[in-house]
Amino acid sequence: MDGYSKPLVTTTNVNKDISPQLMSPRELNALFNKIHLCYHHHGIWLNKDVAIGILHPGLLFQIHNNAQSLTISTPKGEFGLPLNNRDTVVASLMAVGAIIPGTATEVETIHHLLVNSIYSRSISYSLCFADCCNQLLKAIESINNIQMAFIGFGGIANHCLFNLAGSGFKHFILCDHDHVESTNLNRQLLFTQTDVGESKVQVGKREILRRFPDCDITCYTNELNSCSRMDYLSHTDYILITADEPPGLVHNLLKQLVSSHCKACIILAGYSCNSAIIHELDQQLPSPSFPWLRLTNSIMPSHGPINAELGAKVAEAVYQRVCHFSSSKPLRFAQPLNHFSIGFS
């Protein structure tokens, strides 16, 4: 940044026994005023009264040597930062990810997002991945424009939809002809006892709009089968398929989507006995195989905690991909439930 020297930082190990120090905006302002830095109490950094960046609101730090140095924990790691040289402090804070640089307009826009009580925590999380304010604002624009469809609206889809809507995604299509049953209530978080007998997708839409009224949700309640037309998915960006009824449905849906040259990212999520599976289809149909058959009175596995983790894992992968915060490598995940891991490969 113009007017500042190169950063002067060192990696360090923070004493884990020391709790993070809480400071009021006034105390933090007083600390940086000791070295004549322009810090606004809303987290905005100024240079000659012009905003040049915003302080990450989730920082942790320790103060040492009578405020002569800091140990600071940022999304990029933990660093030692001397405070006795004004010319290096701002550059150092930017180098370690404590200040996210941007124009005055970009900084002001992000400040307003951070004071939004609904999305402030999500914006703070997104700042952990952004190199500059402009990158975050482009990510938010992408989130606002993306449309995601859910084929099947059970436990996994419930959690995934809730997490995406809570992260700022707006446009959804819900497809399921099924109705809420009492057996759903122990693992499908959007349904209650009073919803039994109601359309799953209509109840899901109602509950999401109660929390996030700016969402745009379209519901389809027609029964999905080999003859189902999926034209309404032609312009979607992401499709999550969790439906497993009737047997063979998934292969028929995939065949139709691929043959129609659907450009969406298609993700499959579900169970195979005691394994949790997430698979991203790379526009190729799975290899032909003999069909799997079920018992006449089969009871297929479904477990609340695993539904929540699968739904969260898909939601986070979509979020990272849409924001361009991670690689575009296709998702491949399969783990026995007793070795389930939330980490991505």
Within this chain, do residues 153 and 273 fall inside the same structural domain, yes or no?
yes
pLDDT at 188: 92
Residue 37: predicted pLDDT: 56
Distance between CA atoms of residues 333 and 330, nearest Å? 10
Give every CB contact of residue 284 below 8 A, 6+ residues apart in sequence.
Answer: 258
Please tell me whether residues 229 and 267 are part of one structural domain.
yes
User: For residue 193, is it within any domain?
Assistant: yes
Q: Are residues 179 and 47 in the same domain?
A: no
**Higher pLDDT residue, 261 or 211?**
211
In a domain, 57, yes or no: yes
The Cα-based distances of 64 to 23, 72, 86, 133 in angstroms read: 14, 11, 17, 30
What average pLDDT does the segment 255-276 reach?
Answer: 80
Are 102 and 219 members of one domain? no
If one counts the domains in the chain, the total is 2
With CA atoms as reference, report the closest residue to 180 among 205, 163, 202.
Answer: 202
What is residue 8's predicted lDDT score, i.e. its pLDDT? 47
Say whether both 158 and 105 belong to one domain. Answer: no
Give residue 272's pLDDT band: very low, low, confident or very high (50, 70, 90).
Answer: confident
173 and 306 assigned to the same domain: yes
Cα angle 196, 202, 203; round to 5: 45
Whether 241 is covered by a domain: the verdict is yes
Query: What was the pLDDT predicted at 227?
Result: 57
Is 317 a member of any domain? yes
* Residue 213, both tokens: 């009224």
**What pTM was estimated for this model as a whole?**
0.81
What is the per-residue pLDDT across 81-113, written as a single tens digit (0 to 9) for each? 887 776 677 788 888 888 899 999 999 999 999
Residue 170 and residue 174: Cα distance in Å, rounded? 13
pLDDT tens column, 147-157: 999 999 999 99
State whether 266 and 311 are in the same domain. yes
CATH number at residue 151: 3.40.50.720
Q: Are residues 106 and 173 in the same domain?
A: no
3-state secondary structure the chain: CCCCCCCCCEECCCCCCCCCCCCCHHHHHHHHHCCCCCECCCCEEEECCEEEEEECCCCEEEEECCCCEEEEEECCEEEEEECCCHHHHHHHHHHCCCEEECCHHHHHHHHHHHCCCCCHHHHHHHHCCCCCHHHHHHHHHHHHHCEEEEECCCHHHHHHHHHHHHCCCCEEEEECCCECCHHHCCCCCCCCHHHCCCEHHHHHHHHHHHHCCCCEEEEECCCCCCCCCCHHHCCCCEEEECCCCCCCHHHHHHHHHHHCCCCCEEEEEEEECCEEEEEEECCCCCCCCCCCCCCCCCCCCCCHHHHHHHHHHHHHHHHHHHCCCCCCCCCEEEEEHHHCCCCCC
Give the range of the structural domain holding residue 28, as residue numbers without chain letter. 10-118
Same domain, 333 and 250: yes
Residue 333 counted as domain residue: yes
Q: Indicate the average pLDDT of the chain.
A: 80
Cβ atoms < 10 Å from Cβ of 209:
14
Scanning the structure block, which residue is given the tokens 């009175």?
Answer: 297
Does residue 345 sit within a domain?
Answer: no
pLDDT in tens, 157-208: 999 999 999 999 999 999 999 999 999 999 999 999 999 999 999 999 999 9
Whether residue 246 sits in one domain with residue 107: no
The answer on 155 and 14 residing in a single domain is no
- Whether residue 27 sits in one domain with residue 82: yes
Q: Note the maximum CA span of the chain.
A: 76
Domain boundary among 118, 138, 167: 118
**Looking at the predicted structure, is the pLDDT value of residue 283 above 80?**
no
Q: Is residue 219 part of a domain?
A: yes
Is the alpha carbon torsion for 112, 118, 119, 122 positive or negative? positive
Asked if the structure places residue 126 within a domain, the reply is no
